[in-house]
Structure 1
Amino acid sequence: MIDNYRDLIPADFATDSRVWVYQSSRLFMMSEALHIEDLLNSFIANWNSHGAPVKGYGNLLFGQFVVLMADERATGVSGCSTDSSVRLIKQIEQLFNVNMFDRQMLAFMVKNKVQMLPLSQLQYAINNNFISPDTLYFNNLVQTKEELDSKWLIPVKDSWLAKRVTLSL
């Protein structure tokens, strides 16, 4: 079930398509998720860069992560078009009273549920076996479709977090 998100990523996008992952501070309710889906669909349908349409993709994954993707083979995404996507995410923040830009909050898959943990509490969580080296971590630093597919949901031991904490393997 966890890997099913890959089935939602469009196959016709280049592997080097740019990706942005925005993590919500909480799980969205179904009604909110449906509203977000409408916002994303509208945004993607009208996403332009210097007047040219952007081949874009947007989805809410795991009920908590807004993923935007732009295939730049046709139209490059730069300043204004990137700014418009950030405005969309800020709109989602305001509409649903969530934080979408907190990079100190980490997300893990624990017992098939997304669990949030502040970076400052990671070592404590490892020491007390709440998180193990094999726990799946949402690496929201991915930048391409290829990385979204292969490096977004990875074990803690294979992520940048492994250098920040002491893991007992």
Structure 2
Amino acid sequence: MFVPFENLSEEAKVWIYPSSRKFHQPEIPELEKKIEDFITDWKSDDESFKASYQLKYNRFIVFSAEGDKPFTNADIDLQVAFIIQLQEGYKVELLDKMNVCFKQGEYVQYKDLKDFKKLVKNKAVNEKSIVFDNLITSKSEFKYYWEVPITESWYKRFL
């Protein structure tokens, strides 16, 4: 069942899909409708299942879900298949975990790890830079540890 994001518990599972580009304003209503439709159909046979999403910075698709039954590989496969459809439909990359998302001023940047390391070496990214940890797994972690200074993330090893 689709619910508002804030109605999910802090322990709810989270999956974050960073986009290789910002979604454009004309794309967003259709994208949000597709995501809500997917969530409504996803695990619809499980009465305890609740799920939601957020579209952060018009760039990150954040799913969150919880229920009495554990998530199966088939449940995750459905989500990944949906994400692949979005990639193809919007001509974006959403599944590449070897990229780094970080802020430069008010803008969110998306770079592959090799280019990110060069930016650190050249001091274009420093200890005050904000990075996004897209590997977090709970709503609580998302709330407190997703968007942090590089010194509070695993990326600090590159400083």
Q: Is residue 21–residue 68 contact of structure 1 (8 Å, CA) maintained in 2? A: yes
Match of 2:148 among 154, 158, 167: 154
Match of 1:99 in 2: 93
Matched, 1:14 2:2: no
| Alignment of 1:31 onto 2:29 | no
> 1:40 matched to which residue of 2?
35
Alignment partners' CA distance in 1, 2:156 and 2:134: 15
Q: Deviation per CA, 1:37-84: give whole Å up to 9, x if none.
A: 0011111112216x2142001222111111111123x34322222211
Query: Equivalents in 1 of 2:142, 2:65: separation in Å?
Result: 13
2:128 matches 1:129: no
Off by >6 Å, runs of 4+ in structure 1: none
What's the counterpart of residue 73 of structure 2?
Answer: 79
Query: Structure 2 unaligned runs (5+)?
Result: none
Q: TM (normalized to structure 2)?
A: 0.90
C-alpha displacement of 1:101: 1.1
**Residues paired across the two proteins, number:** 155
- When the two chains are superposed, the root-mean-square deviation of aligned CA atoms in Å is 1.6
Q: How much has 1:161 moved relative to structure 2?
A: 1.1
Task: Please tell me whether the aligned partners of residues 106 and 117 of structure 1 are also in contact (alpha carbons under 8 angstroms).
Answer: yes
What is the TM-score when the length of structure 1 is the normalising length? 0.85
Q: How far, CA to CA, are the matches of 1:29 and 1:122 in structure 2?
A: 24
Quick one: distance in 1 between partners of 2:112 and 2:79? 26
- Structure 1 gaps of 5+ residues are 1-8
Deviation of the 1:128 alpha carbon: 2.1
